[in-house]
Amino acid sequence: MAYNFEIIEDCLKCTFREHRLFCDLPGEAVTKLQSIKATSVYPKGAMLCLEGQAPRGVYVLCTGRAKLSTTSSEGKTIILRIAEPGEVLGLTAALSNTPYEATVETLELSQTNFIPQTDFIRFLQEYPDVGMRVAQQLTHNCKCAYTEIRSLGLSNSVPEKIAKLLLNWAEHPLDSPNRKNSSEIAIRVTLTQEEIAQFAGTSRETVSRVLGDFKKKGWLRIKGATWSILNKQALEELVTT
């Protein structure tokens, strides 16, 4: 077993299954899914889809997280969202048979189940339940996109956008060992400042300055990939949307 990483080949035995929107299907459907999927494991930094490519199929992200981004012809990149385990990626492209809208890059060691486009469409038509799950995933994509639009279009300043991001991430905090410090929220951030800049639609230098400012004000502590929000309220007051 490469990577010292447990591969889950059998969906029926997957312990996450019932928590996963797209996998928590009736047994018969999962058996079918099982027969058309191909499991792979990718290291950090692997590209699952490239923006503009013809769709080959969809990826169910079993474990790990992935970054969806789009790039201008001038090389400027913007991050659309970070996909969490359980999401189905490449749906829009596969359903409408148009090129992938975004580039998908794994942020960590990840397992995926790939389903070829034609098998997926057939699967979708055979099992009505699947349609509902697909709709839910698409709904989620739309909501994320709208959040991003609000962030890009309605914010007054970069500090506000970054505060928004931090607060957003703070909604899935780490189980901090010292939960007693109730005011402190620990989160795990594996993005570089460059990537944060792409998320907020700004420049890397500005991100550095803003984070430095937050630290100086005692609102934030950064220790490696573990960031602690020390003053949530102050960040919230920065946000106007």
Partner DNA sequence: TATACAGTGTGATCTGCGTCACATCTCCCT
Partner DNA sequence: AGGGAGATGTGACGCAGATCACACTGTATA
What is the Cα gyration radius of the chain? 19
Q: Which stretch binds DNA (CB under 7 A): 55-63, 65-73, 209-217, 232-240?
A: 209-217
182 C-beta neighbours (distance < 10 Å), count: 7
Q: Is 184 in the site for a second copy (CB under 8 A)?
A: no
Q: Do 196 and 162 form a contact (C-beta atoms < 8 A)?
A: yes
Q: Is 208 in the site for DNA (CB under 7 A)?
A: yes
User: Which one of DNA, a second copy, none is in contact with 233 (Cβ closer than 5 to 8 A by kind)?
Assistant: none
Instruction: Show the site string, 58-77: x = touches a second copy by CB under 8 A, - = not.
Output: ------------xxxxx-x-
Q: Is 102 in the site for a second copy (CB under 8 A)?
A: yes
Q: How many residues bind a second copy (CB under 8 A)?
A: 41
Alpha carbons 165 and 147: distance in angstroms, whole number: 10
Q: Do 86 and 23 form a contact (C-beta atoms < 8 A)?
A: yes
Question: Smallest distance from the beta carbon of 173 to DNA, in angstroms?
Answer: 20
The residue within the footprint of a second copy, chosen from 128, 178, 216, 224 (CB under 8 A), is 128
The residue within the footprint of DNA, chosen from 26, 43, 131, 212 (CB under 7 A), is 212
**With left for phi above 0 and alpha for psi between -120 and 50, is residue 215 left, alpha or beta?**
alpha
**Among 77, 133, 75, CA closest to 102:** 77
Q: How far is CA 114 from CA 7, 131, 145, in A?
A: 14, 18, 24
- For a second copy, the binding residues (CB under 8 A) are 70-74, 76, 78, 80, 91-92, 95-96, 98, 101-102, 124-125, 128, 131-132, 134-136, 138-143, 145-146, 148-150, 152-154, 156, 201, 240-241
